[in-house]
Amino acid sequence: MVAHGNTVAGNEALVLGAKDRFPGPAFFGLAPYLVKTGIRSNLLGDGSIAHRLVESAIGVFMQSPETYARRMVPLLFAPELEGRTGLMFGHKSQPILPTRGFDGAYVDRYLSASEALLRRALTTTVT
């Protein structure tokens, strides 16, 4: 869960900070919540009882991949998004606010630390 939380935070930082660091493309964040995709097979064991139970419950209580796509694809091609970037959308295509505390200063620190880590990883030689 820690790794997942870091991934979510990193994605949010990219969406919010990319317009200043990577001008040109538009960046949007999508928060689909739980969707029955099988992605949890690595964590729960593909085809295990736990995996099948969790995926079945998600399939009953949450939206299907088809429903999510039906909601999101028109949004991603909406002309109103032209020239905009740094927006985030929830599971029903509604705009959502950044996580509390994810202000410009925090995003800058997060992305700077990520870039430093990437530079260190790329310059370290494996012996």
33-82 pLDDT, tens digit per residue, is 888 787 778 778 888 898 888 888 888 888 889 999 999 999 999 999 99
Q: pTM of the full predicted structure?
A: 0.77
Do 9 and 88 contact (CB within 8 A), yes or no? no
pLDDT of residue 63: 87
Contact 62/36 with Cβ under 8 angstroms? yes
Top-confidence residue, 107 or 19: 107
What local confidence, expressed as pLDDT, does residue 6 receive?
A: 83
Q: Quote the pLDDT of residue 40.
A: 79
What does the alpha-carbon distance between residue 39 and residue 19 come to, in Å, rounded to a whole number? Answer: 29
- CB pairs under 8 A, 24+ apart, for 6-14? 9/99, 9/110, 10/110, 10/114, 12/88, 12/98, 12/99, 12/102, 13/102, 13/107, 13/110, 13/111, 13/114, 14/111
Quick one: pLDDT band at residue 23, thresholds 50, 70, 90? confident
85-92 average pLDDT score: 93
> According to the model, what pLDDT value does residue 94 have?
94
